[in-house]
Amino acid sequence: MFTPCGESCAQVDMSGPGAAQRATARYIKLDWIIDAHSNAAVQCGDGTFVPGTAHYSWNPDTLQGRYWSTADSRPCGNDESLDTYPVPLTLTKAAPKAARPIAKRDTLNAKLLRQRPFEGDVCSAGRSCTQVWRPS
């Protein structure tokens, strides 16, 4: 779930099975980018995990991008820090939610809708979205 946090910014709920994490996505040079620290960012050959940063980058029009990880230190018995090879990443649009009507006097919503609007999916600048941001 993506929640706007300002111009070219979104808070992202990256929860999954056994994990709850929030990260900040930034719209930079036509791509959305997330760098999220994790205690299990890189998996060693023996199956153990080491801490590091998971990197995500994708194009909002195609929803195609890549994912890779960087270890915090020299992991898995290596003499140097480690970056994994980039892996292709494909995002899928979330099912639309029923939107509540937005009153004309609702200036907060009007201001937010002039920014890059999205909820549950990512839209590029200047492109209309079928979903709109709604305050929680």
Tally the domains of the chain. 1
> What is the reported pLDDT for 131?
35
Q: What is the mean pLDDT of residues 67-95?
A: 82
SS3 136: coil
Q: What is the mean pLDDT of residues 105-118?
A: 40
106 lies in some domain: no
73 lies in some domain: yes
Position 90 pLDDT exceeds 80: yes
Residue 72 is classified by DSSP as S
Number of other residues whose CB lies within 10 A of the CB of residue 24: 14
99 lies in some domain: no
Number of other residues whose CB lies within 10 A of the CB of residue 107: 9
103 lies in some domain: no
100 lies in some domain: no
Position 48 pLDDT exceeds 50: yes
68 lies in some domain: yes
Average pLDDT of every residue of the chain:
72
Question: Can you give the residue range of the structural domain that contains 8?
Answer: 2-94
135 lies in some domain: no
Query: Within 13 Å, how many C-alpha atoms sit on residue 123's CB side?
Result: 19
C-alpha dihedral, 111 to 114 to 120 to 126, nearest 10°: -170
Q: pLDDT digit string (tens) for 2-46?
A: 888 888 998 888 766 555 578 899 999 999 999 988 888 888 888
104 lies in some domain: no
